Each structure stands twice: as structure tokens, then as C-alpha cells.
């Protein structure tokens, strides 16, 4: 089957975010311009350079999972499984009525079971190798979340996890999109999950000088495009969607949130942690995604940026947007939802895909908060202050990761 005859739509959404533990509260928090940041409660962070993050609030895995199930999952896996459960329920899929061999799972986690790794290493040091739990490896490895979801729903199609740092879940979503487009599946569960607010992770990112150290004011620490930004704020959570071949969705009367139109990947081939000059790799990812969508550059209205709140990264992404879209860049409405959710690392692409999708569906762009003094080098329209109401036929979500991994996704409203 020719891939261009198969359209891919979104029919279900599941979200666990620092702004709320479901899709509705997540979206409401974005529109209200609410920060999810606060002091770290996962461990005693008093000796750390950064002592705050965007944690999930009031999360208890046993509200969704049996106690024995939750105990056998690292938090990252809990987040991915629960968000998948939410998405499947939201989609209204009748699992007894679909071909499970044409249903698959492609999820993502940039770091995987960091809590289990750190805790088990402590057991090894204190009690010796004989006390390492037998479930340690199956709980730690990143791919286990796709396995858990596949087993739970009986999906027997393509099944794996992508790992490409902060671009991980955008790659997962793009691959799931193409899997359906190319006729290899009709339904895919896709997205990302991350639970890396742990001592070793925070210490590691502090060592890289990547995190904000605005400990006296966590709510205003994530400030993309602000002149006084000093690094990103760690976040955690999961975001998962149901991607479905359009005719398959229409035949069962599914609610359609929007349509995935294109994806683009590239590599900087430049530096382990720094973006390429002028965002050259990001430029190519955006160009490939727009070409893949079959839409003209002038049709794009909105870009949900990677926008991490790092001094170099924010400006290089805006330079890349300017290079790709030329004079049309002046018309684009730009935001960064990381100003509210923090940076979910391997789950960032997924949660920002959902934010962009809902922006298109609702005709509403959430603001970038905490922009008190716009960087003097910013020459594009940053949506800030309050949400912007407007027609959004076409939007782009960007995600870039350590190692020079770049991914862009094009999202449109559903058209008959």
C-alpha cells in the first residue's frame, strides 16, 4: 500500500504531568500559565546546587495499578503504563474488535530506571551481590515499558523503545506515525515517560552546569527566552497517545483530536551537548518534517519550541526557525511549555506533542511564562503573558537532545 494514501490521526491521550495527573488538568495548567516547580521532595537535596524540580504532585501508582504491579515497576515505567492506560481508555478502543497483530507500541525514555539503579546499587554496596533483587534488570532497562504495555493490552505488532536523550519520545512518535503510514500497523500506542529526579541525575546535570540554580524562586526558574535564564528545570511524568489509521478510526466512530502530518530527523554531528552553530541540525529536521507533511512553509502558524531555558539553546533554535522560514518567521507564534512543566528529558517530546495537538484542537496557544525581560537577541513573536486565541491549522513541535539528535513533528487539525 502506498504510504501517502494512509493518514494518521490521534484518537486517545493520556498525561501524567507536573501540572496535573490527567489531560484536562494538564491543559488547564498550561492555559492558566501555571508553574509546576517546587522544592524536591523525592530525596534530601539540601547539599545540591539545585534543590527544586517539577515533580508529579499527589501521585500514587496504586490508584491505577495493583500494589504488586506497581512494586515491580520503576517510577518511569509506572508513568508510561498508566499514561497508556489513560490513552487507551480515552480512545474508546474495543480491544476485542481490532486486529492485535496490527497494533503496536513504540514508547521512549531517555534514562530509564534510574531510581531502581541507584537503590539497587546501594543494596549491593551495603549487603553484597547475593541481595540484589531478581527483578532488578527487568525493572531498570528502558525497553521494559513497551513490553509492559504490550503485554497489558495484547498488542502484537511493532514493539520497542527509542532512546535519543531529550528527542527520544519525538522519535518514538515519528516512528509510530510512519509505521501506520507505511501500512505496517493500524493502531499504535506511542509517547514517552521519565522519572529522573534522583540524586545521581540531579548531581550529574549540576556537574554539566545545565540546571537552573534559582533555589530562592523555583516558580520563576524556568524562563525560556528571558535575558536572565540560567538553565533548565528538571521535570518528570508521562504522555502517551493513540495513533490510528484514519479510516480505521472513522469506521469505529472514534473521536479525532488531530492529524500527524510529517516528521523529520537529523543529526548535528557536532558536539556531545552543545547545539550546532545557527541550529544547523535543527534547521534540517524542520525542513524535512515540513516537506514530509506536504504543506507549504507559509501555512505554518505555531511552533512549540524545545525552549529549555538554557542560554545558548534558546537562541540557536530561534535562529534555526528564522533560517528555515525566512520572512514568514515573523508571522509565527512561538512558545515553550517547558516554562511550566520543566524539562521532562526523554518524555519532553511527547508531552509537548500533546500540548501542540491540544493547541491546534482548541485554537489556543499557552503562554511562555516567566519572560520578564525578553532577551535582546530574540526577534520572533514569543507568546507570553496569557494564552493566545487564534485559528491554528498547522503547528510544529521541536525536540533536540544531547548527542546532536533533532526531531520535528508537524501536526494539523483533522480534515475530512
Q: What angle do CA 272, 215, 354 make, to 5 degrees?
A: 60
Reduced to 3 states, what is the DSSP secondary structure of residue 307?
A: coil
**Distance (Å, whole) CA 341 – CA 166:** 14
Q: What is the rounded CA–CA span in Å between residue 214 and residue 204?
A: 17
As a whole number of angstroms, the distance between CA 139 and CA 141 comes to: 6
343 is catalytic: yes
54 is catalytic: no
Q: At what angle do helices 348-362 and 168-181 cross, to 10 degrees?
A: 60
Catalytic position from the list 166, 171, 248, 302 = 166
Strand residues in 159-307 grouped as ranges (E)? 159-162, 187-194, 237-245, 258-267, 302-304
- Among 368, 359, 345, 129, smallest CA distance to 237 is for 345
Our answer to whether residue 3 is catalytic in this structure is no
**Of 171, 248, 302, 343, which one is the catalytic site residue?**
343
Closest listed residue to residue 337, CA positions, set 17, 39, 50, 16: 17
Catalytic residue among 171, 248, 306, 414: 306
Q: Which of 193, 177, 189, 54 is nearest to 110 (CA)?
A: 193
Residues labelled as active-site residues: 166, 306, 343
Amino acid at each position: 500500500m502506498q504510504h501517502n494514501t494512509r493518514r494518521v490521526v490521534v484518537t486517545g491521550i493520556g498525561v501524567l504531568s507536573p501540572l496535573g495527573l490527567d489531560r484536562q488538568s494538564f491543559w488547564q495548567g498550561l492555559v492558566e500559565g501555571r508553574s509546576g516547580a517546587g522544592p524536591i521532595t523525592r530525596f534530601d537535596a539540601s547539599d545540591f546546587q539545585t534543590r527544586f524540580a517539577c515533580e508529579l504532585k499527589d501521585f500514587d501508582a496504586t490508584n491505577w495499578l495493583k500494589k504488586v504491579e506497581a512494586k515491580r515497576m520503576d517510577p518511569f515505567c509506572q508513568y508510561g503504563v498508566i499514561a497508556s492506560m489513560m490513552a487507551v481508555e480515552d480512545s474508546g478502543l474495543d480491544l476485542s474488535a481490532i486486529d492485535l497483530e496490527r497494533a503496536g507500541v513504540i514508547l521512549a525514555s531517555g534514562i530509564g530506571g534510574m531510581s531502581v539503579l541507584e537503590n539497587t546499587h546501594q543494596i549491593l554496596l551495603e549487603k553484597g551481590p547475593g541481595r540484589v533483587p531478581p527483578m532488578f534488570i527487568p525493572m531498570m532497562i528502558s525497553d521494559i515499558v513497551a513490553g509492559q504495555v504490550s503485554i497489558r493490552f495484547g498488542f502484537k505488532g511493532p514493539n520497542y523503545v527509542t532512546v535519543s536523550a531529550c528527542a527520544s519520545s519525538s522519535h518514538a512518535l515519528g516512528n509510530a506515525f510512519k509505521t501506520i503510514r507505511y501500512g505496517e500497523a493500524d493502531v499504535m500506542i506511542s509517547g514517552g515517560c521519565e522519572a529522573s529526579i534522583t540524586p545521581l541525575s540531579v548531581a550529574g546535570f549540576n556537574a554539566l552546569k545545565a540546571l537552573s540554580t534559582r533555589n530562592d524562586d523555583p516558580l520563576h526558574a524556568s524562563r525560556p527566552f528571558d535575558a536572565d535564564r540560567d538553565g533548565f528545570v528538571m521535570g518528570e511524568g508521562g504522555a502517551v497517545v493513540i495513533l490510528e489509521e484514519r479510516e480505521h478510526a472513522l469506521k469505529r466512530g472514534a473521536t479525532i483530536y488531530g492529524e500527524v502530518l510529517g516528521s523529520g530527523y537529523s543529526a548535528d554531528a557536532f558536539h556531545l551537548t552543545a547545539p550546532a552553530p545557527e541550529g544547523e541540525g535543527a534547521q534540517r529536521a524542520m525542513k524535512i518534517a515540513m516537506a514530509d507533511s506536504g504543506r507549504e512553509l507559509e501555512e505554518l502558524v505555531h511552533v512549540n519550541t524545545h525552549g529549555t531555558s538554557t542560554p545558548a539553546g534558546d537562541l540557536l533554535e530561534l535562529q534555526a526557525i528564522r533560517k528555515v522560514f525566512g520572512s514568514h518567521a515573523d508571522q509565527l507564534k512561538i512558545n515553550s511549555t517547558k516554562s511550566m512543566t520543566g524539562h521532562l528529558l526523554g518524555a519532553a517530546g511527547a508531552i509537548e506533542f500533546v500540548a501542540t495537538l491540544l493547541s491546534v484542537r482548541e485554537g489556543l496557544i499557552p503562554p511562555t511564562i516567566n519572560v520578564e525581560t525578553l532577551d535582546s537577541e530574540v526577534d520572533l513573536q514569543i507568546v507570553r503573558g496569557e494564552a493566545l486565541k487564534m485559528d491554528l491549522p498547522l503547528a510544529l513541535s521541536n525536540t533536540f537532545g544531547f548527542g546532536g539528535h533533532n526531531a520535528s513533528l508537524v501536526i494539523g487539525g483533522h480534515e475530512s
